[in-house]
Chain A
């Protein structure tokens, strides 16, 4: 058994929809973790896109189909060639994927365009999972920011008059205490673009992070026009999306099939035909 930590970064907004009305102003919300409310890409979305329909036909005996069934599993029966009897050819997948959780959320910032925020809860969970899977955890301590504080790198771009102004929340800029952690995260996820990340990183309290997960996602208004009259036929309806730049972390666990993850780009989630859900893979070859 082997485990790998993998990072994905959204290049366009991602809509891992729930298909359910949230009975709020948002008609099409994104998937969220039940307990934390943080947005998430369900492992099934990720797995479905990686599999891309391979080996789903029970009659298909080609090498590629067998290999895909070994890695991604299969449930079904097929008729034997000689006797016509049905046999069960179900098998479990050798590769397990976990939900891709938000690691860094981009939030609009008054200075520096946007900030990558995360919170101790997210990092502690990552640490816990790394250890549980026998992987090395983060070396640096995870400091706890005050409610009104943002811990930043020494060299940062997101400070305005001693404050970090994220959407409508003002936090006090604090450049001490998290330098080692920020360096380590930058190296781990973004190398060789670490500076791009470090300059706009902010460690905020769990509550502030929760607030932005709830309120800070991208909301896109859509309408459908009548092609002849150019008047609104349907809508507006409101879709939520996890904004471009968001970094997700997920684990791949298993015996084989890790090479399936070696692709630089993926497109997943809803509204794909209007360009949502382009992800790039980052680092993660631990």
Chain B
């Protein structure tokens, strides 16, 4: 179900700049949200999976913008500006859209149990009216966080047709923020740091297509030799060769190979080559295991 929703969502934003962010440390975002356990987590209302709220991403970008000392005009484009009653300015909305970051499809277990232990409950609760001492009872609070190694897809779009380098700029800055400033709560305790990867640029895709076409040409005679169960093991050899290739390069070749096997009635669930080809086709690169 989430797969279908994710697919629809990806498709609807196909012109976006995609940032792929993988948690490097645990992520605790939306700790204040209502939750049956004491602390919340940003969980998608409809699908119940963790996500990165667009508003949090935009907020992080605001911090990056301050840090980089962007000009007022640049900030107005990236983030919009509030109305200024003194100068009778109405303000304007941001020119970019920061969509929610959605959880990678292949990820089946994004959560982990986590705990915060408050050692000086009275001291914090009474805002310093009572001294913190070593005799206080520690109070462990269990909560859920997103574990490290979980990937999220973050699209950024710009509705104006003639300003398509802005989303790239925003994505670069956001990546810097996710890697260095952290997102969500408890960033001072090491939570919320990511490693980021850009979705492929058009150039890169063209290069991969070219490499793929060449490789397919050289492998086609081999593939066509697969005629019966005797020569079917060649499929395994070819698939193994392709294992190290980037997904974009190997996919068309694997598809051709599968087509050959299917047409010769050799595509059987229990064969090793079937499993390997299927696995490679699914391309679970970077997702959590």
Residue B110 at the chain A interface, CB threshold 8 Å? no
**Alpha-carbon separation in the docked complex, A244 to B57 (Å):** 19
| CB 8 Å contact bits of A227-269 with B (1 = contact, 0 = none) | 1101000001000010111000000000000000000110100
Residue A196 at the chain B interface, CB threshold 8 Å? yes
| Given A113-B1, A113-B47, A244-B44; A227-B62 close (CB under 8 Å) | yes
Residue B230 at the chain A interface, CB threshold 8 Å? no
Query: Interface residue count for B (Cβ, 8 Å)?
Result: 35
Residue B98 at the chain A interface, CB threshold 8 Å? yes
Residue A42 at the chain B interface, CB threshold 8 Å? no
**Chain B: CB-nearest residue to A200:** B1
| Given A227-B66, A280-B12; A196-B93 close (CB under 8 Å) | no
A166 CB to closest chain B CB (Å) equals 13
Residues of A within 8 A of B236 (CB): none
| CB 8 Å contact bits of B17-47 with A (1 = contact, 0 = none) | 0000000000000101100000000001111
| CB 8 Å contact bits of B56-96 with A (1 = contact, 0 = none) | 01110011001000000000000010000000000001101
Binds A, one of B3-11, B125-133, B245-253: B3-11
Residues of B within 8 A of A200 (CB): 1
Is B32 a contact partner of A244 (Cβ separation < 8 A)? no
B83 CB to closest chain A CB (Å) equals 14
Is B93 a contact partner of A220 (Cβ separation < 8 A)? no
Residue B221 at the chain A interface, CB threshold 8 Å? no
Residue B220 at the chain A interface, CB threshold 8 Å? no
Is A273 a contact partner of B44 (Cβ separation < 8 A)? no
**Chain B: CB-nearest residue to A273:** B94
Residue B215 at the chain A interface, CB threshold 8 Å? no
**Alpha-carbon separation in the docked complex, A6 to B40 (Å):** 38
| Given A13-B45, A245-B46, A273-B80; A227-B4 close (CB under 8 Å) | no
| CB 8 Å contact bits of B91-126 with A (1 = contact, 0 = none) | 001101111100000000000000000000000000
| Given A11-B9, A265-B12; A273-B63 close (CB under 8 Å) | no
Q: Which of A264, A267, A274 is within 8 Å of B55, CB to CB? A: A274
B261 CB to closest chain A CB (Å) equals 28
Q: Which of B8, B100, B159 is within 8 Å of A275, CB to CB? A: B100
| CB 8 Å contact bits of A1-43 with B (1 = contact, 0 = none) | 0000000000111000000000000000000000000000000
**Alpha-carbon separation in the docked complex, A128 to B173 (Å):** 53
A228 CB to closest chain B CB (Å) equals 7
Residue of A13, A200, A227, A276 with highest tally of chain B CB at under 10 A: A227
Residue B140 at the chain A interface, CB threshold 8 Å? no
Is A264 a contact partner of B12 (Cβ separation < 8 A)? yes
Is A196 a contact partner of B4 (Cβ separation < 8 A)? yes
Q: Which of B32, B44, B59, B66 is within 8 Å of A221, CB to CB? A: B32
B-facing residues in A197-241 (Cβ within 8 Å): 200, 218, 220-222, 224-225, 227-228, 230, 236, 241
Residues of A within 8 A of B55 (CB): 220, 222, 271, 274
Is B45 a contact partner of A218 (Cβ separation < 8 A)? yes
| Given A11-B9, A11-B12, A273-B80; A227-B99 close (CB under 8 Å) | no
By Cβ-Cβ distance, the 5 closest A-B pairs, closest first, are: A275-B54, A274-B54, A275-B99, A273-B94, A218-B45
Q: List 9 A-B contacts (CB under 8 A).
A: A108-B48, A200-B1, A220-B55, A230-B187, A244-B46, A244-B47, A267-B97, A272-B93, A275-B99
Chain B residues within CB distance 8 Å of chain A: 1-2, 4-5, 8-9, 12-13, 30, 32-33, 44-48, 53-55, 57-59, 62-63, 66, 80, 93-94, 96-100, 159, 187
